[in-house]
Amino acid sequence: MHSSITAAYLTRYRSVASAVTGAAPGELLPLTGAQRRFLITRRRDPHARTDVVPLFFAFPRGTVDPARLRRAALRLAERHPVLRGEFTVLRGTPVLRIGEPSVEVARVAVGPEEGPDGPRGPENPQGPARAALLRALLNWPADGPVLRLLLAAGPDDEEELLAVALDHAACDEQSLGVVTEGLSALDAEEAADTGPSAGPPAASGSPASVDAYRAVVEGQLAAEEKAAGEAARAHWAARLGALADPPPGVRPAGAARSTGMAAERLPAVTGAARGGVFPALLDAVAAAAHHLDGGGGRVLALGYPWGGRPEGAAPVLGCFLNTLVHPAPPGPPRGLDGLGADWWDDLDHADTPFDEVVRAARSAGASWSGALDGLLTFEDLHRRPPLVLGGTAGREVHLAGRPLATPVAVSASHGEDLLVRLAWDRERHPDARAEEAFAVLLATLRRHLGAAA
């Protein structure tokens, strides 16, 4: 009889939660499948970096008041248990321990090596302030707060750059909108309250907020357990049975220390064609990944995060997603109809935990460890409110040079236009080859979107 990974985890969690002495009611909370993967990956590799989700905004110099922003951020943390939590392992079981509100709001010094006379090569293509923020994020403290707000500006810059960064275990796409909307509203409230009562919030969160967060996590775990049944396992076994890891000697994914990035803005997709954007992106990423793979003939494993709260769930901040796997066989681009049909079938099984998917693929003969050859992330910017501080909306910017979890990663942001960015591991793929792959990606994407329109 098949025992699901989620059911086994819940059994261990309940045993630990009931056995921990001195724990206040509600102090220990279970983790979703995605959160457990993040935490277990870190603990298995002591050199692994924390997965961080950053947003970067440019504001006119002097717009952001760090003290006021810190008060707003503490109030936001007060409302959301995951921002007061510590991801830890008790008796071999990953849990979230709720504590006091904690955030970091700091100015990042722009060092001499990032100044006007510093390097301006591929490692620092975007200016001193951006290089300083990247340096700070690369040194993310594993035991620090899950929300960090970092501000940087060079001595002659007319703009300051603000990084709004969260531990990925506490954040998904929907959570980004909760953060930008919450910080904007609370910063405005703090700006209006300039009297002696202005200050940090009360020290402890309301039980209602913890109960709401717990209910959403338990709903997510119930969905994950239900989605680990026989039908889901059969679906993923059939879809992924041909996957295989790269040949021995190929540098493993996730070890990148130097990354490059290329970007292109395409017209926004409107009307009925919007439904074809994601499958078109999947096929375009597949074409680029095969170009970089050098015609090795493997079926590539492309991952993409997909999620959403259980139906009727409160709009809590947290990580409620799964990494789905798209098998990309070699060959010419496919038609959108077939791609879309396969994609929709996969979404019907989107709650199956990643570890269960790997187990199903291996049961069908796949020699696949779960390593991904590429990653696609997609964000609908219409769903994320702007970040407004000091009455000014920040201008979002994008930072090259961030470490990658896969050899190649594509990010697409759909708002007033469709911004497509490709990042690559430069120790594995030469820049010229990656630029060729990006051209292949754009050509494939334009062909699909033109047909859909």
Domains plus CATH for the chain?
5-222 (3.30.559.10), 230-452 (3.30.559.30)
State yes or no: pLDDT of 299 exceeds 80: yes
Interatomic CA distance for residues 300 and 245, integer angstroms: 9
Q: How confident is the model at residue 124 (pLDDT cuts 50, 70, 90)?
A: very low
State yes or no: pLDDT of 91 exceeds 70: yes
Interatomic CA distance for residues 278 and 21, integer angstroms: 48
Q: Give the pLDDT confidence of 24-59 residue by residue, as tens digits.
A: 555 899 999 999 999 988 887 766 778 899 999 999
Interatomic CA distance for residues 409 and 156, integer angstroms: 33
The residues, any chain, with a CB within 8 Å of residue 85's CB and separated by 6 or more, are: 29, 96, 97, 98, 99, 146, 170
Helices vs strands, H then E, count in the chain: 11, 16
Q: Give the pLDDT confidence of 390-433 residue by residue, as tens digits.
A: 999 999 998 877 778 899 999 999 989 999 999 999 989 999 99
The CB-side HSE value for 87 (13 A sphere, CA atoms) comes to: 29
DSSP 438: H
Write out the H or E segment, with its range, that includes residue 285. Answer: helix 277-293
Q: How confident is the model at residue 250 (pLDDT cuts 50, 70, 90)?
A: low
Closest of 318, 69, 382 to residue 200, by C-alpha: 69
Tell me if residue 136 falls in helix, strand or coil: helix
End-to-end CA distance of the chain: 48
Lowest mean pLDDT segment, chosen from 170-174, 196-200, 298-302: 196-200
Closest of 317, 437, 264, 286 to residue 73, by C-alpha: 317
Q: Give the pLDDT confidence of 262-282 residue by residue, as tens digits.
A: 999 999 988 877 888 999 999
Residue 381 confidence (pLDDT): 87
Residue 287 confidence (pLDDT): 95
- The pLDDT mean for the chain works out to 87
Rounded to the nearest angstrom, the gap between the alpha carbon of residue 332 and the centroid of all alpha carbons in its chain is 30
Q: Give the pLDDT confidence of 322-368 residue by residue, as tens digits.
A: 999 999 999 887 788 888 999 999 999 999 999 999 999 999 999 99
CA dihedral 96, 97, 101, 105 (to 10 degrees): -60
